[in-house]
Amino acid sequence: PQVSAAQYGKDNIRVYKVHKDAKTGTQTVVEMTVCVLLKGDIETSYTKADNSVVVATDTMKNTVYIMAKQHPVTPPELFGAIVASHFVEKYKHIHSAWVKVVTHRWTRLTVGGEPHPHSFFRDGSETRNVEATADEGKGISIRSAIAGLLVLKSTGSAFHSFYKDEYTTLPDVYNRILSTEVDCGWTWSTFGSVAEVQSAVPKFDKAWESARTITLETFAKESSPSVQNTLYKMCEQILEAVSEVKAVDYSLPNKHYFEIDLSWHKGLKNTGKDAEVYAPQSDPNGLIQCTVTR
């Protein structure tokens, strides 16, 4: 037998960093969860119990904290690139490093109509994510993403004229609730170095804002004939809006809300145009995925 693939590292490294503006006293916080996975000449640690090639995962955790102290932690694209490149440059037997940065929402509180200098709240479990991969001699590839953005529309969605056969019971529907939890990613053209990522810094926040706005506004405005078609229209717009992005991907669960027929109770009308009370379904859920390139 032989090792066909191997990577190891530390997951769920939680990091908090505060920035204190000397002039205004305003403080800004960033909280993220980081995963580091390394690849390289590490087979013997599996096959021969040779630990000499093992950069301990504890060392990786320490390194993430030191990098967070010594470098900017925003935008997450830059921090991910810095950490991934560090491991490939520092250890000659490590040839690839994959770093995932999940940034959590600490939105500044407004108090008395004013932004509070050091108080924040968690407005949703939505996260801004980055996966940065440094491959020795090949540069840094970065996928930025929005995850966990839960949306619902109470009408403006249909699904009909689909393939029907002896296995099909789903009726055509011309007006339905549509809910999904957005996982949207956009992959940048490969960067040659951390310096190139640094030069692109102004583009990352703008791209995230564009992707988020396009997603929310298309979801709201589109009279959706299917998750598939609405997803594709989001991809088209993001590619149009962000020229440095070479691919956009979505993974959208279809979180169903079922009508409840209450006619058994004194003929109560609660289906079709009279539907008001629905049963939200935890499972099963549709799952619609697509990647669109230029």
Ligand X SMILES: O=c1[nH]c(=O)c2nn[nH]c2[nH]1
* Catalytic residue, candidates 10, 39, 95, 100: 10
Measured CA to CA, the distance from residue 260 to residue 263 in angstroms comes to 9
Active site residue 19: no
Q: How many residues does the chain have?
A: 294
CB of 281 to ligand X, least distance (A): 12
CB of 286 to ligand X, least distance (A): 5
Residue in 146, 250, 152, 243 with CA at minimum distance from that of residue 203: 243
Question: Measured on CA atoms in the order 166, 170, 174, 180, is the torsion positive or negative?
Answer: negative
CB of 272 to ligand X, least distance (A): 17
**Alpha-carbon distances of 112 from 37, 115, 116, 235, rounded to whole Å:** 45, 8, 9, 40
| Of 220 and 268, CB closest to ligand X | 220
| Of 101 and 288, CB closest to ligand X | 288
Measured CA to CA, the distance from residue 279 to residue 150 in angstroms comes to 17
* Catalytic residue, candidates 44, 57, 71, 246: 57
Measured CA to CA, the distance from residue 13 to residue 23 in angstroms comes to 32
Measured CA to CA, the distance from residue 166 to residue 3 in angstroms comes to 46
Active site residue 10: yes
| Of 106 and 232, CB closest to ligand X | 232
Active site residue 57: yes
Cis geometry, peptide bond prior to residue 280 (ω within 30 degrees of 0) = no
CB of 155 to ligand X, least distance (A): 14
* Catalytic residue, candidates 95, 203, 255, 256: 256
| Of 22 and 170, CB closest to ligand X | 170
- Residues in contact with ligand X by the rule CB under 6 A: 159, 170, 226-228, 254, 286, 288
Q: Give the catalytic positions in this structure.
A: 10, 57, 256
